[in-house]
Amino acid sequence: MKALVYHAPGKKAWEEKPKPTIKKPTDAVVKIFKTTICGTDLHIMKGDLPAVTDGRIIGHEGVGIIEEVGSAVSNFKKGDHVLISCITSCGKCEYCKRGMYSHCEDGGWILGNLIDGTQAEYVLIPYADNSLYPIPAGADEEALVMLSDILPTGFECGVLNGQVKPGDTIAIIGAGPVGLAALLTSQFYTPAEIIMIDMDDNRLAVAKKFGATHIVNSSEGKAVEKVMKLTNNKGVDVAIEAVGVEATFELCSEIVGAGGHIANIGVHGKSVILHMETLWSKNITITTRLVDTVTTPMLFKTVQSKKIEPKNLITHHFKLNQVAEAYEIFGNAAKEKALKVILTNE
Amino acid sequence: MKALVYHAPGKKAWEEKPKPTIKKPTDAVVKIFKTTICGTDLHIMKGDLPAVTDGRIIGHEGVGIIEEVGSAVSNFKKGDHVLISCITSCGKCEYCKRGMYSHCEDGGWILGNLIDGTQAEYVLIPYADNSLYPIPAGADEEALVMLSDILPTGFECGVLNGQVKPGDTIAIIGAGPVGLAALLTSQFYTPAEIIMIDMDDNRLAVAKKFGATHIVNSSEGKAVEKVMKLTNNKGVDVAIEAVGVEATFELCSEIVGAGGHIANIGVHGKSVILHMETLWSKNITITTRLVDTVTTPMLFKTVQSKKIEPKNLITHHFKLNQVAEAYEIFGNAAKEKALKVILTNE
Amino acid sequence: MKALVYHAPGKKAWEEKPKPTIKKPTDAVVKIFKTTICGTDLHIMKGDLPAVTDGRIIGHEGVGIIEEVGSAVSNFKKGDHVLISCITSCGKCEYCKRGMYSHCEDGGWILGNLIDGTQAEYVLIPYADNSLYPIPAGADEEALVMLSDILPTGFECGVLNGQVKPGDTIAIIGAGPVGLAALLTSQFYTPAEIIMIDMDDNRLAVAKKFGATHIVNSSEGKAVEKVMKLTNNKGVDVAIEAVGVEATFELCSEIVGAGGHIANIGVHGKSVILHMETLWSKNITITTRLVDTVTTPMLFKTVQSKKIEPKNLITHHFKLNQVAEAYEIFGNAAKEKALKVILTNE
Amino acid sequence: MKALVYHAPGKKAWEEKPKPTIKKPTDAVVKIFKTTICGTDLHIMKGDLPAVTDGRIIGHEGVGIIEEVGSAVSNFKKGDHVLISCITSCGKCEYCKRGMYSHCEDGGWILGNLIDGTQAEYVLIPYADNSLYPIPAGADEEALVMLSDILPTGFECGVLNGQVKPGDTIAIIGAGPVGLAALLTSQFYTPAEIIMIDMDDNRLAVAKKFGATHIVNSSEGKAVEKVMKLTNNKGVDVAIEAVGVEATFELCSEIVGAGGHIANIGVHGKSVILHMETLWSKNITITTRLVDTVTTPMLFKTVQSKKIEPKNLITHHFKLNQVAEAYEIFGNAAKEKALKVILTNE
C-alpha cells in the first residue's frame, strides 16, 4: 500500500509500505476512506517530536471501512464504516476506567506517533472495540473526520474543562481549527457572550460567522483592555487557551474573572509564568488536558441531530495521493485561509 | 476599650480606642471572649500589606458575646455567644449568592484589614446575620476559634478544591497551622495515604500525630524522589500547597499524578513558574482560593459531633492584654513549637 | 389602591385595599407595572390552597418600580425598575445559604399566598435586596415577567434537576406554560431530541414551533409505545413531568431509560405509584423541587443576550383593572389558546 | 468438579459438573479459593428469580486463582490471585463507558444467574480483564470477598448515590449485611450522625459497634417520631433504604428532610407508594441502582490502607463442600446472628 512516511526533520515521502495485518485478537485493519492533517503533524515533520522515528506513517484522524478484525473484536465486522479516534483506549486499565483514555497504559495518543497512522491506504487500529466508532448509513462521513480529534479536543479540553454555563461570558484565545472547534462546541451550553481573540483578521471573520459575539485582534497588544471593557472590568467566566505559548496563557490569566476558569488546550513547548501574586486569592481553576475522546458518542449525537455542522471547518479537498500538496497548503494556513483539509482515498 | 493597633511597619501598640457602635441596621457589636493571631497578622506587622493603614485594629478570628445589634439583625440578640468569621458576607451581592463570600462586593476579608478587627475588647461586625455563627450552650468556645479562619481555609482551599476522595494518595506541603488544618479536614474524605512535607522535624512529628501516614523532610531536596517512590512513580492524586513560595508550588507540579489536583492555599507574593511543557497533557487541575467560609456550618457539625478536635491546634494561652508577648511567641513559631495561640479577654 | 382579593372559593374581587408601607428595614414597596396569572392562582381561587385566607391579595409574578425602601435595603432605591421573584429569600438562613430559597425560614413562596401579592397597584416585598432583581434600562420588561416564576420553574425543576446534556434525548410531559418553559430552557444544553407529550394538538403545535423535535399526542394511550419506538427501545435520558397527576408521573417512569432522570415539576395533590419492582435496578434518579429562583441571574443573562425569547409565551394582554376578564380567559386556556396573559398597570 | 446447582424452587444439590473451559479470547477460568452466600441466592433458591433455570451453578462472589486465560486477556496470567466482581463488564459498550457496568450489554449481573457462578471449584469469568481485580501478595483474601458485591453495593447504591457529606445526619434502614456495608462505607465521608433503623436488636447492637451513633428499633412503629426528635424535626440529609419493601421505602420518604436524598439499595418485588403530595415541593432526590462495581479499585485502596475492616462482616466459616449447611445457617440469619459466611475451597 501507499502511505505518507516520516524520515527525518523536513523529510517525508509518499511511498510503498506493507499493508498492516492483525497481530492481536483486539486489533482491526481499516481501509482509510478520508483523513486529514493536524497541526501536530506539522510539528512532527519539523522534528519537534523526537518520539516519532524514521519510517513512521503519520496521521491520527480519519474514517474508513473495516477490512479485517481480530478474534476478540465484537463491535465491528468487515465492511463496517467506522470513525477512527486519535486516542487508542484499551478499555481496561486504571486510566481508561477513569475516563482518561489519553493516559491509557497501552494506548493514548500513539497513532501516527508511536505506531503507524492514518495518512495511508490502510491502518492497524489496536483495541478496535474501544478505539473505533460505528458510522450509521447515510451519515456525512467527511464531516465526521472532524470527530477524530479536533472537535473532542476543543470540547473536552476547552469547553468541558472550562465548565461553560448558560449566560457565561467566555473568551477563546486562538481562532485556528481547535479554537474554532471550541467555539462551535461551547455553544452547546449557550454562553451569553463569546469573545474570540486572534491576530489574524480572516480567522476572526470566520469566528464571527461561527458564532462569536465579539472579536478582538490582539496584535496591537490591547486585548486585556478590550476584554475588560466588554466585561465591565469583571473579566470573563472562562478563558480558553488554544495557542500554546506564554503570551496567550498570560493573557488568559489577566482576563479571567474571580471564580473563573482557564482551560488550556494549547500544546506548550516551554514553561509559562503564573501570576500567583494576584491569582492566589481569585478563586480560579486552571486545567490542562490531552483529549480523551470520551465525549465522542455525545458529539456524534449532536452531529447526527444537526446541532453542529463540523463540515464548516473543512476548507480544502485533495486525493490521498496528493498529500504532499495538502501539507503545503495546510502549512501555510493563514495565507491559504485553510482550516481543515480533507484527503480522500479514492 | 483596649485594642492592638497597627501604626507602621514594626510598630504596633496595645492602646485605648473608642468602643465601636452600631452604624448600619445590619451591624452588630461583639464583646471579644477569645481571639488568636494569624500568620497574615505577622505580615501586616511587617508592613507587607499596604492596604492596612496607621491606626487599624488587627485580628480577624475569635468568639465573643453579642453586645448590641442593628435593627435589621434577626439571627442574633444581646447576650448570644457567637463565632466570628474572618470573611464578611453581605449575603446579597452576586458573589455571595455564588458562595464566593471572599469576593463579597461590600465585604470579603476586611476585618483587621480594611476595618477594625478582633484583637480588641470589642469589635464591630458588619452584616452580622451572615458573618457570625451562633455557638450552642456547652460548646468548647476555645476550640471554635479555629473555625474563624484556619479550618475553613485548610478545608475549602485545600481539601474541597483538591477534591480529596476515599482511597486517594495526597500530599500536603507545609505543616504550619493551615497545612495541619488541611491534614485534619482531609481525613473527612478518608484518603488512603497522606504524605506531609515540611522542613521542620517538629512540625512533621505533629503531623504524624494528626494522621499523616508518611512524613517527608524536604530540606535535603529529595522530596520529589521520595514521593515518587511512595507512589510507584504515579504521583499523588492531590497536592495541597500550604506555604506560598515558588519552590513549594513547583514541588506540587512535580509530584502530581496524571488526572490529579494542585490546590493552592498559600499566600504568594511573587509569580511562579508553571511547567506547561510537561503539564499541558497531564489532565491536571490547579485551583486558587481565598477562603469563603461557606463551609463553616458543615465544619461546625463535625466539631460538635467530635469528628475533629480543633483544640489540638492550640499550643499557647495568653490574656488578651498580653497580646504583645503572644506575638513574640507566635512570631518564633518554629523555635517555640507554636501552632495557634489563644488570647482570652478576661 | 386597587387589588385582586381572594375571599372564598369561587369568590374574588377587584377592590380597594390600603397601600402597603415599609414595616421592616429590609422591606421595599414596589409599584406594579406588569403582572400575570399563574396556574396556581386558579387553584387558589377554587379553594385548593387552604393556607390562602379571606382578604389575601393574589399574585406572585411581575415587574415594577421601587416606591420606597427600608433602611437596610442597599441594592435598590426609589425609581429603580425591578423584577419580582415569586420566591422571597432572606439570604441568611441555612436554606438560603444552601441555595434553597424555596425553603427559606422566613420566606419561600409566600407572595400572594401567606402575604399580599402582585395583582395589585402596589406590593410589599420583604427582604428586597434578595428577592428583587434590577432591570437595566432598555430591557423588554414585559418579557421579564416570565422570569418571576415560569422560566426558573421550568429550568430549575425540569432542566437542571434533570441534568439535560448535549446529545440527550429528553421528553417533556405537559405542554402548558411551565412545560414550554422547560422546553425553551432545555435548549440551553443542546439535547439532540426533544419529545413533547400532551393531549392538546394546539399546544403540541406551539411546542413544535418552540423547538420540540417530536410531538406525541398521548390521548390515545400510546405514548409509551411511541417514545420507545423513537428511542430504539432505550427510553429517554430525561423525562420532565410538567402536569402533576399520577398518569403522567407513571408515564415518565415507563419511558425513562437506564441511567436516566425523572425531573418532577408538577404540583401533585395525591400520591403516585412508583414501580420499584422494575426501577430498583435501573440506576435512575427522581427529583422534586419547588422553584428556588437561584438561577434568575443566569436566566437574566440569557434573555439579555437573546438566547431565549420569553415573550413568545405571552398570548394575551389586559389592563390590570381587567383582571377578572383575564382570569376568565386564562381559566379556559385550552379553548382560548392562552399561554401567559400580561396585566398592565397603566 | 463439584458445584452447588439449582434445580427447582427449594431444590439444590452439591454435585459433579464439568470443569469450565475458555470459550472466548476474553475469558478466564478461575479456581475458587473462597466464596460466600448472598441474600439474593436465598431468593433464587426459593424460585423468586425465574431467569435462573434448572442446572445453574449459583454464586456471584469470591476470590480465587487464575487457572487459564484466553488469548486476549492481558491483565492476568495463570497463578494470579484475583477478586471476582459480581458484575461482568465488557468494557466497550455504551453502558460500560458510562460507568454503568450493571447494564453492560453483554454482562451485568449474569454470574450465578444467567451463567454459572462461584459456589463451585472453578468458574468461567467472561471479559476477565474488566471483571476481575488483582490481589496483591499479603492481602487478607477472606476480607476481600466482601468486595465482590456487598461493599460496592452499600457504597455505590447507598453512600455515593445518597451523596453523604461531612457533617450530615443520615439514616440507614435495614441492618443486614448490605445495610451494614453502607454503614461502614458511609463513614468514608464523616457524617456527624448515623441513625441505624432495624427491627432486630442484635443487628442494631452490631450496627452500634460498626459506628452507628444512634439506633432505632422500628418494630413498635415509632421510627418516624424518633428520627424527627433526633433531628429537631428537620429530617435527615440522607435516608438509605436497605430492605426492599414498601414500609421501609415509605419510612425513608417520611424522615428525609428538605433538600435530602433517598438512596434505594433494596431489591423490590412490588411497587411502592410515593407521597408526591408532600414530596413535590421538598427538593428531594430519589435514586435507584444495581451495583456497578465501578468503585472496586477505590474500595480496594481503603481496605489495603486499613480505613475499613470488611472482615468484621464475616460471622461464620465453612468448607466449600459444606455449602448446604452454610445455606442453612445463612437462611436463618437473625436466629444464628449470621452476617456473611465464608466458604473455603480447601
pLDDT for A246-273, tens place per residue? 999 999 999 999 999 999 999 999 999 9
Which DSSP string corresponds to B181-194?
HHHHHHGGG--SEE
Of A142, A141, A118, A223, residue with least CA distance to A175:
A223
| C277–D270 CB contact, under 8 Å | yes
Quick check: B268 and A280 in contact, CB under 8 A?
yes
Which chain B residue's Cα is nearest to D301?
Answer: B167
Q: Which amino acid is at D62?
A: G
pLDDT band for A314, please (50, 70, 90 cuts): very high
- Which of D168, D281, D292 to mutate to test binding with chain C, by most C CBs within 10 Å of its CB? D281
Percent of chain D whose predicted confidence (pLDDT) is above 90? 99
The span from the CA of D166 to the CA of C46, in Å, is: 45
pLDDT band for A162, please (50, 70, 90 cuts): very high
The span from the CA of B167 to the CA of D308, in Å, is: 11
Q: Which long-range contacts (CB under 8 A, 24 or more apart) does B204-213 make?
A: B204/B175, B206/B175, B206/B180, B206/B339, B207/B172, B207/B175, B207/B179, B207/B180, B207/B183, B210/B180, B210/B183, B210/B184, B210/B312, B211/B183, B211/B184, B211/B187, B212/B172, B212/B183, B213/D305
Q: Report the sign of the C-alpha dihedral through residues C47, C50, C53, C57, in that order.
A: negative
Cell numbers linked to B8: 507602621
The span from the CA of A71 to the CA of B297, in Å, is: 58
Which residues, including other chains, have CB under 8 Å from residue A280's CB and lie 6 or more apart? B244, B264, B266, B267, B268, B288, B290
pLDDT band for D345, please (50, 70, 90 cuts): very high
Which chain B residue's Cα is nearest to A96?
Answer: B259
Distance (Å) from the alpha carbon of A260 to chain B's nearest alpha carbon: 10
- Degrees to nearest 5, angle at CA A71 with A67 and A72: 110
pLDDT tens, chain B, 346 aa long:
999 999 999 999 999 999 999 999 999 999 999 999 999 999 999 999 999 999 999 999 999 999 999 999 999 999 999 999 999 999 999 999 999 999 999 999 999 999 999 999 999 999 999 999 999 999 999 999 999 999 999 999 999 999 999 999 999 999 999 999 999 999 999 999 999 999 999 999 999 999 999 999 999 899 999 999 999 999 999 999 999 999 999 999 999 999 999 999 999 999 999 999 999 999 999 999 999 999 999 999 999 999 999 999 999 999 999 999 999 999 999 899 999 999 999 8
Radius of gyration of chain D measured on its C-alpha atoms = 20
Which chain A residue's Cα is nearest to C304?
Answer: A192
Write the secondary structure of D125-138 as one string of H (helix), E (strand) and C (coil).
ECCHHHHEEECCCC
Q: What is the pLDDT of residue C300?
A: 95
Cell numbers linked to D314: 464475616
The span from the CA of A303 to the CA of A305, in Å, is: 5
pLDDT tens-digit profile of D36-66?
999 999 999 999 999 999 999 999 999 999 9
Touching subunits for chain D (3+ Cβ pairs under 8 A) = A, B, C
pTM (2 decimals)? 0.97
**Nearest by CB: D94 against A26, A91, A297:** A297
Q: How far apart are the first and last CA of chain A?
A: 13
The H or E element containing residue B34 is: strand B28-36
Alpha-carbon separation of residue C125 from C2, C67, C96 (angstroms): 17, 11, 17
Which DSSP string corresponds to D258-287?
EEEEEEE-SPPSS-EEE-HHHHTTS--EEE
**Nearest by CB: A277 against B269, B289, B290:** B269
Q: What is the pLDDT of residue B129?
A: 98
The span from the CA of D315 to the CA of A8, in Å, is: 67
Cell numbers linked to D113: 444467574
| C192–A304 CB contact, under 8 Å | yes
| A288–B292 CB contact, under 8 Å | no
Q: What is the pLDDT of residue D322?
A: 97
φ, ψ (nearest 5 deg) of residue D166: -55, 135
Q: What is the pLDDT of residue B115?
A: 98
How many of the other CB atoms lie within 10 Å of CB of B325?
14
Interface contacts (A, C; CB < 8 Å): 61
C contacts of B70 (beta carbons < 8 Å)? 72
Q: Is the pLDDT of residue D337 over 90?
A: yes
Touching subunits for chain B (3+ Cβ pairs under 8 A) = A, C, D
Q: What is the pLDDT of residue D346?
A: 86
The span from the CA of A206 to the CA of C284, in Å, is: 42
| A91–D25 CB contact, under 8 Å | no
The span from the CA of B63 to the CA of D280, in Å, is: 40
Average pLDDT over chain A reads: 97
Alpha-carbon separation of residue B193 from B210, B235, D143 (angstroms): 13, 12, 20
Distance (Å) from the alpha carbon of B9 to chain C's nearest alpha carbon: 36
Alpha-carbon separation of residue A47 from A12, A35, A57 (angstroms): 11, 22, 14
Q: Is the pLDDT of residue A64 over 90?
A: yes
Q: Which amino acid is at D315?
A: T
| D72–A74 CB contact, under 8 Å | no
| B189–D167 CB contact, under 8 Å | no
The span from the CA of B210 to the CA of B179, in Å, is: 11
Of D185, D196, D189, residue with least CA distance to D165:
D189
C contacts of D284 (beta carbons < 8 Å)? 287-288
Q: What is the mean pLDDT of residues D78-92?
A: 98
Spans of chain C below 50 pLDDT: none
The span from the CA of D279 to the CA of D249, in Å, is: 13
- Which of A23, A27, A92, A101 to mutate to test binding with chain D, by most D CBs within 10 Å of its CB? A92
Which chain D residue's Cα is nearest to A71?
Answer: D25
| A75–D94 CB contact, under 8 Å | no
Quick check: D159 and D189 in contact, CB under 8 A?
yes
| C166–A302 CB contact, under 8 Å | yes
Q: What is the pLDDT of residue A346?
A: 86
Residues on D contacting B at a C-beta cutoff of 8 Å: 165-168, 187-190, 192-193, 213, 297-302, 304-305, 307
Cell numbers linked to B326: 503572644
Q: What is the pLDDT of residue C131?
A: 98
| A166–C298 CB contact, under 8 Å | yes
Q: What is the pLDDT of residue B346?
A: 86
Strands (E) in D131-235, as ranges, are: 132-134, 169-173, 193-198, 214-217
This complex has an ipTM of 0.97
Q: What is the pLDDT of residue C346?
A: 86
